[in-house]
């Protein structure tokens, strides 16, 4: 998909989602048991006016898949820090837009570089992931979709003992909930 | 005798004053003098093989293991009479004896004598299956150390650790000399930070095997069946048994931020000990169980603190070092080992339990997760000092750390077992 087309698709999906927001929230939070009147029916999206008809017409967004997750931007941190800097904020803004057009749960993984100790890094990694979680929550992403897991320094993105490797390893990234 | 006196001044822990002015008056304060290399010169003569043909095969191996045990005790300077490259000062003691094999049974008649008089100091028999000849030699070595220092050695102990292969980190255990390595988990996940129960029967460790982040699990290494201890939401890390084995100190973030808790031995009835917005982690009990040392970021970067084991009276221990973590209280209660960041890596430090007298004991490469031997004479730690991550032991007397064989595996996060 070319960038323009993708953008259009995203806008479309977003509009649909906004239009269906009220129903969508209810759909998500309704217990799985369907109403008695339609016991055998699979849940169908409620009919809602949409500016442009689309073939799939999702009301709550596309199910989150690996492809979407893979396009999310990794957020990087300074040494010993769980603060989200300006670059991190713009990455997270883009990520939040993409995630809001989807449904489904995901994991925020917090990671650290090898310059911290194993135990302290397990705690720091969680603080990084939780900082991202809070940022998403402020952008309107349901907390119920998010699981936070810290890997400390045990899952580096890049092997190596220089600033180039370290800066790539101090990060929060995203994965599907298993 | 003068040498002996020197040794005791240099290597052993002298009760200096009980209830020193600073700190908990209930804690026995001990004086520690480092930097001494005084060791008792001891001559190892080979065991005389008696009986079956393979008596000789095992006895020559036994010779090497006894010599390695005694050298590794940090009490002796060992000269092996069968090894021309082995030399040292005039010996004060000599070991040897008979190695008798009858079928599947071994009788080790161990002897420790003074030198050159050769008057017996310790003569003792050890019997068991030939297959367990290492165990018999370790017992003899520990008795020799006991005879000459008043405290048994650590040759019969084991070391739990984590081996890393690619992304996977598995729990392993081996004898203190690297023999008999056994992999305990096969989770294809992350295992970390093992610690032994005080009776040596259980290992508590951090594991991602549950699939939802770090949790505390316990395993009996004899049956390798892990069972969950704390799987609360958030992180569950840094589990460590109290000296009486009745409680577990650990780090949980169930209330939003890493705090130190004490659980009962089954993982229930959590009691929160710390309460602040920064990270608190890495708890370790004092040997009396009355205090807990831990790491906190409350002052900015991580530093070592001590609090009462009910969470009261927290006080900072380290000031003049960078980022510090991994405090481990020595078995006698007199010292605390920890790591401090220097450049790209960590150095090992030891200070008194009131925080004074901090000394760097290991540097070069990055050195992490120090763990005391039960005799307080050695620390095992992980390091990349020679390249790949491996385990090392320092005898805290200025001699270079020695590498432990781990069968070619990358090894980290060691924990020295208590004596069994």
Round to whole Å and give the CA distance between A86 and A78. Answer: 12
Cβ contacts from A onto B, under 8 A:
82
Do B258 and B143 reside in the same domain of the chain? no
DSSP annotation of A62? E
Which residue carries 């990358």 as its tokens?
A: B410
Q: Which of B124, B149, B174 is the last residue of a domain?
A: B149
Q: Do B138 and B166 lie in a common domain?
A: no
- Say whether both B98 and B188 belong to one domain: no
Q: What is the average per-residue pLDDT within B267-288?
A: 97
pLDDT band at B320 (very low <50, low <70, confident <90, very high): confident
Would you call B237 an interface residue with chain A, using a CB distance cutoff of 8 Å? yes
Are B191 and B264 within one domain?
yes
Please give the structure tokens belonging to residue B162. Answer: 């984590």
Verify that B128 and B177 share a domain, yes or no: no
End-of-domain residue from the set B110, B128, B149: B149
Residues B7-59 have pLDDT tens digits of 443 333 333 333 333 333 333 333 334 444 589 999 999 999 998 888 999 99
Residues B397 and B248 in one domain: yes
| pLDDT score recorded for residue B37 | 52
Looking at the fold, whether B67 and B20 belong to one and the same domain comes out as yes
Structure tokens at B375: 């005799």
What was the pLDDT predicted at A3? 46
The edge-to-edge listing of strands for the beta sheet with A75-76 is A75-76, A171-176, A106-111, A146-152
Q: How far apart are CA B19 and CA B28, in angstroms?
A: 6
Distance CA A125, CA A116 (A): 10
Integer Cα distance of B122 and B301 in angstroms? 52
**What pLDDT, on a 0 to 100 scale, did the predictor assign at position A178?**
72
Q: Which residue has the higher pLDDT, A59 or B320?
A: B320
Same domain, B381 and B364: yes
Are the C-beta atoms of A20 and A61 separated by less than 8 Å?
no
* Residues B142 and B229 both lie in one domain: no
Query: Which chain A residue lies closest to B300 (C-alpha atoms)?
Result: A80
Tally of structural domains, chain B = 2
A21 CB near a chain B CB, below 8 Å? Answer: no
Q: For residue B116, what are the domain limits?
A: 4-149
Per the CB < 8 A criterion, the answer to whether B405 and B362 are in contact is: no
User: Is A119's CB within 8 Å of B323's CB?
Assistant: no
B135-155 pLDDT per residue, tens: 999 999 999 999 999 999 999
Placement of tokens 């090992």 in the chain: B348
Whether chain A has a CB inside 8 Å of the CB on B283: the answer is no
Using the 8-state DSSP alphabet, how is residue A31 labeled?
A: -
Question: Which residues, given as ranges, of chain A have pLDDT below 50?
Answer: 1-4, 7, 10-59
Yes or no: say if B292 and B286 are a contact pair by the CB < 8 Å rule.
yes
Domain boundary among B149, B169, B203: B149
Whether B282 and chain A come into contact, CB under 8 Å, resolves to yes
Residues of B in contact with A128 (CB under 8 A): none
Task: State whether residue A165 sits within 8 Å of chain B by CB.
Answer: no
Tens of pLDDT along B187-227? Answer: 999 999 999 999 999 999 999 999 999 999 999 999 999 99
Which of B193, B212, B297 is the closest to A118 by Cβ? Answer: B193
State how far residue B117 is from chain A, nearest Cα, in angstroms: 53
**Is the pLDDT at B274 greater than 90, yes or no?**
yes
Tokens representing residue B128 in the block: 């068991």
pLDDT for the residue numbered A5: 52
The pLDDT score that the predictor gives to residue A57 is 37
Q: Are residues B353 and B206 part of one domain?
A: yes
Mean local confidence (pLDDT), B369-394:
97
Q: Verify that B274 and B352 share a domain, yes or no.
A: yes
Q: What does the alpha-carbon distance between residue A69 and residue A98 come to, in Å, rounded to a whole number?
A: 9
Task: Answer yes or no: is pLDDT of B235 > 90.
Answer: yes
Torsion, CA A28, CA A34, CA A35, CA A40, rounded to 10: 140
As given in the structure block, the two tokens for residue B295 are: 């790491």
Is the pLDDT confidence value at B419 over 90? yes
With cut-offs at 50, 70 and 90, classify the pLDDT of residue B398. confident
* Backbone φ and ψ of A98, nearest 5°: -65, -40
Interface check A159 vs B, CB under 8 A:
no
**Which pairs count as long-range contacts for A70-78, CB under 8 Å and 24+ apart, including other chains?**
A71/A98, A72/A98, A72/A99, A72/A173, A72/A174, A74/A157, A74/A171, A74/A172, A74/A173, A75/A132, A75/A171, A75/A172, A75/A173, A76/A167, A76/A168, A76/A170, A76/A171, A77/A128, A77/A170, A77/A171, A77/A172, A78/A170
Query: Closest-CA residue in chain B for A123?
Result: B258
By three-state DSSP, how is residue A39 classified?
coil
CATH number (domain holding residue B60): 3.40.50.10070
CATH classification of the domain holding B175: 2.120.10.30
Cβ–Cβ < 8 Å for B309, B262: yes
pLDDT, position B420? 76
Nearest CA in chain A to B277: A127
pLDDT category at B236 given cuts 50, 70, 90 is very high
- B247 and B125 co-located in one domain: no
The whole-number pLDDT of residue B360 equals 95
Question: At B77, phi and psi to the nearest 5?
Answer: -105, 115
Tokens of B53: 């043909």
């Amino acid at each position: 998909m070319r960038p323009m087309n993708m953008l259009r698709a995203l806008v479309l999906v977003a509009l649909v989602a906004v239009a269906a927001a009220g129903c969508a929230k209810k759909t998500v939070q309704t217990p799985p048991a369907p109403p008695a009147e339609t016991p055998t029916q699979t849940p169908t999206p409620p009919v809602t006016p949409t500016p442009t008809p689309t073939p799939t017409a999702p009301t709550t967004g596309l199910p989150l898949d690996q492809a979407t997750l893979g396009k999310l931007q990794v957020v990087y941190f300074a040494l010993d820090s769980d603060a989200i800097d300006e670059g991190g904020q713009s990455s997270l803004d883009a990520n939040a837009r993409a995630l809001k057009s989807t449904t489904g749960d995901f994991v925020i993984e917090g990671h650290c570089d090898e310059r911290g100790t194993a135990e302290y890094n397990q705690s720091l990694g969680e603080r990084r992931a939780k900082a991202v979680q809070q940022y998403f929550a402020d952008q309107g992403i349901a907390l119920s979709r998010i699981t936070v897991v810290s890997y400390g320094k045990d899952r580096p993105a890049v092997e190596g003992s220089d600033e180039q490797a370290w800066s790539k390893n101090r990060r929060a990234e995203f994965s599907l909930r298993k | 005798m003068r040498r002996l006196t020197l040794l005791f001044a240099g290597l052993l822990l002298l009760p200096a004053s009980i209830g020193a002015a600073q700190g908990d008056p209930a804690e026995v304060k001990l004086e520690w003098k480092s930097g001494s290399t005084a060791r008792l010169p001891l001559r190892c003569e080979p065991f005389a093989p008696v009986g079956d043909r393979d008596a000789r095969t095992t006895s020559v191996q036994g010779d090497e293991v006894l010599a390695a045990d005694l050298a590794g005790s940090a009490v002796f300077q060992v000269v092996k009479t069968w090894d021309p490259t082995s030399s040292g000062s005039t010996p004060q003691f000599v070991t040897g004896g008979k190695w008798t094999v009858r079928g599947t049974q071994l009788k080790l008649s161990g002897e420790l004598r003074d030198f050159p008089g050769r008057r017996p100091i310790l003569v003792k028999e050890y019997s068991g299956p030939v297959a367990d000849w290492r165990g018999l030699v370790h017992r003899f070595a520990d008795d020799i150390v006991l005879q000459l220092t008043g405290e048994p050695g650590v040759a019969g102990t084991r070391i739990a650790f984590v081996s890393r292969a690619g992304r996977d980190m598995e729990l392993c255990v081996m004898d203190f000399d690297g023999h008999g390595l056994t992999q305990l988990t096969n989770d294809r996940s992350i295992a970390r930070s093992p610690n032994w129960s005080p009776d040596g029967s259980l290992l508590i460790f951090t594991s991602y095997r549950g699939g939802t982040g770090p949790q505390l699990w316990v395993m009996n290494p004899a049956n390798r069946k892990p069972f969950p201890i704390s799987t609360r939401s958030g992180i569950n890390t840094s589990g460590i048994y109290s000296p009486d084995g009745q409680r577990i100190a650990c780090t949980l973030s169930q209330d939003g931020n890493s705090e130190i808790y004490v659980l009962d031995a089954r993982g229930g009835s959590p009691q929160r000990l710390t309460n602040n917005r920064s990270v608190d982690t890495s708890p370790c009990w004092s040997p009396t169980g009355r205090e807990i040392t831990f790491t906190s970021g409350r002052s900015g970067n991580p530093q070592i603190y001590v609090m009462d084991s009910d969470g009261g009276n927290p006080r900072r221990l380290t000031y003049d070092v960078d980022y510090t973590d991994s405090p481990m209280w020595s078995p006698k209660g007199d010292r605390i080992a920890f790591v401090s960041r220097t450049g790209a890596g960590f150095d090992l430090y030891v200070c008194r339990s009131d925080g004074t007298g901090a000394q760097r004991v290991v540097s070069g490469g990055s050195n992490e997760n120090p763990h005391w031997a039960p005799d307080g004479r050695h620390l095992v730690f992980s390091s990349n000092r020679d390249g790949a991550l491996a385990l090392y032991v320092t005898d805290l007397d200025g001699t270079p750390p020695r590498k432990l064989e781990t069968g070619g595996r990358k090894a980290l996060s060691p924990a020295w077992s208590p004596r069994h």
